Amino acid sequence: MIQPQTQTVTVYILDKEYHVVCPTEERTNLERAAAYLDGKMREIRRSGKVIGAERIAVLAALNITHDFQQCTRQLEEVSNMNGEQMEQLVAQLEQALSVS
């Protein structure tokens, strides 16, 4: 079995440097994720309502998780609608074929 190549990527979150090992093909995704997290944490820090990197990180994690859950629910709703629409189309086809 061939092991995927990995590399150490340096990312910056709230002006702190982190070295993360990831598969080479995931580097861009890791950098985007780190930039997104950094942006969310800076947004929370700018609000001035939360002090401390740990608290900022927890609130950012909660916000990102909430956003993720909303997206997941929306995708499920769309998926369910498509399934229902397919069922309706199949029923219409079956009815049309039985009439012939």
Per residue in 73-83, pLDDT (tens digit) is 998 887 877 77
DSSP state of 18: E
User: Residue 25 pLDDT more than 80?
Assistant: yes
**Which amino acid makes up residue 84?**
E
Q: Where are the domains of the chain?
A: 6-99
Total-model pTM: 0.73
Q: Give domain 6-99's CATH number out of 3.40.50.300, 3.30.160.880, 3.40.462.10, 1.10.10.410.
A: 3.30.160.880
5 half-sphere exposure, CB direction, 13 A CA radius: 4
Q: Are 10 and 19 in contact (CB under 8 A)?
A: yes
CA–CA distance, 81 with 75 (Å, rounded to integer): 10
Print burial letters for 69-93: b (CB count within 10 Å at least 16), e (below 16).
eeeeeeeeeeeeeeeeeeeeeeeee
